[in-house]
Amino acid sequence: MKKDFLTGRELREQDIYHLFDLTKTYKTSRRKKRFTSLLKNHTIGLIFNKPSTRTRVSFQLAVEELGGRALYLSGDTIQTSRGETVKDTASVLSRYLDGLVIRTYKQEEVEEYAQWCLFPVINALTDFLHPCQALADYFTIWELNGTLKDIKLLYIGDSNNVCNSLIIGADILGVKIMVASPENYQPRDEVLSLVKNRDIVVVDTDPLKFVPEADVIYTDTWISMGDEKEVEERKKIFQPYQVNKKLLAEAKKNFIFMHCLPAHRNWEVTDEVIDSKNSVVYQQAENRLHCQKSLLHFLYSG
């Protein structure tokens, strides 16, 4: 039976730790230029309806370094852009390909592809979720701390797709997640309904309440793809949520700063924070590649 990765909920806690061990191995192997042939004779399609740097490059390399072939399919060049149904597209691609990685707008679209495709489908980002990002983020925290036990993660800013996936991951892994967002930009019932242990999620409008106890402080752009018409309004609303030296005055000395990138520097985070010794943004970006290798391994190894 095929396996998909659509929300992150497909993985149990023990699955994630198994992936972490695999990721560590793949990271070490790549540095030694040792690659595998797990996906030999496999072609994985990459459908991207949104711009991408890290997700596209890391998935393409992950597939190729596992011995497969990655076929990039820009959303505006395939027939779904002209009205072909997902069912027809997926049914035909199932006769050509061995897997599909999709970055698009609606979560329902990814799930519909999974319904009709005969091979694994991976959610590489929707407006609702970004499970591959959260997987790499929690690996990075585990890699740096050696454990996720008693870790407290503070997310500051817009409760977007990244925040949603961090919440789901926290629920699976038992990490306490604190979310500081303006009232109309807090986690929605749609994502909280997926949380089995609500005690792990604490939400407030004031980030200063959480900063002193946070082991990890995470932020993301105030302007997600699709929000471009709201730039000036959002800048005013989120300015008090900028991660800067003043906001971090009471933070732990060894806290970890994370951002999934791309960053609007000196909007949601100042240069002195994102370039500080506490920042691990490039490490977490690198880990996207290694985690996606382990995810592909999980989906294709039986």
pLDDT digits (tens, 9 = 90+) for 71-90: 999 988 899 889 999 999 99
42, 54, 98, 133: which is the annotated catalytic residue?
133
For 13-129+288-300, the fitting CATH number among 3.40.50.1370, 3.30.465.10, 2.60.40.420, 3.90.800.10 is 3.40.50.1370
Q: Residue 143: which of 293, 27, 276, 273 has the closest Cα?
A: 27
117, 132, 163, 260: which is the annotated catalytic residue?
260
Q: What angle do CA 136, 137, 139 make, to 5 degrees?
A: 65
54, 158, 220, 290: which is the annotated catalytic residue?
220
The amino acid that residue 162 corresponds to is: V
Note if the pTM is more than 0.85: yes
Helices (H), the chain: 13-31, 54-65, 86-93, 107-116, 131-145, 161-173, 189-192, 231-238, 271-274, 281-300
Per-residue pLDDT band for 191 (boundaries 50, 70, 90) equals very high
Q: List all residues 6 or more positions away from 203 whose beta carbon is below 8 Å from its beta carbon.
A: 178, 179, 180, 181, 186, 187
Where along the chain do the CATH 3.40.50.1370 domains lie? 13-129+288-300, 132-284
pLDDT at 302: 67
CATH domain 132-284 topology? Rossmann fold (3.40.50)
Residue 198 a catalytic site member? no
pLDDT at 1: 83
Residue 234 a catalytic site member? no
Task: Over range 126-153, report the average pLDDT.
Answer: 98
Q: Is pLDDT above 80 for 168? A: yes
Q: Residue 140: which of 281, 301, 272, 299 has the closest Cα?
A: 281
pLDDT at 87: 97
CA 116 to chain centre: 24
pLDDT at 263: 96
Residue 137 a catalytic site member? no
Residue 88 a catalytic site member? no
- CA 164/CA 168 separation, integer angstroms: 6
Residue 260 a catalytic site member? yes
Q: Is pLDDT above 70 for 37? A: yes
Across all residues in the chain, what is the average pLDDT? 96
288, 290, 291, 297: which is the annotated catalytic residue?
288
pLDDT at 229: 75
Query: In sequence order, what are the beta bridge partners of 43?
Result: 69
Residue 117 a catalytic site member? no
Task: Over range 255-267, report the average pLDDT.
Answer: 97
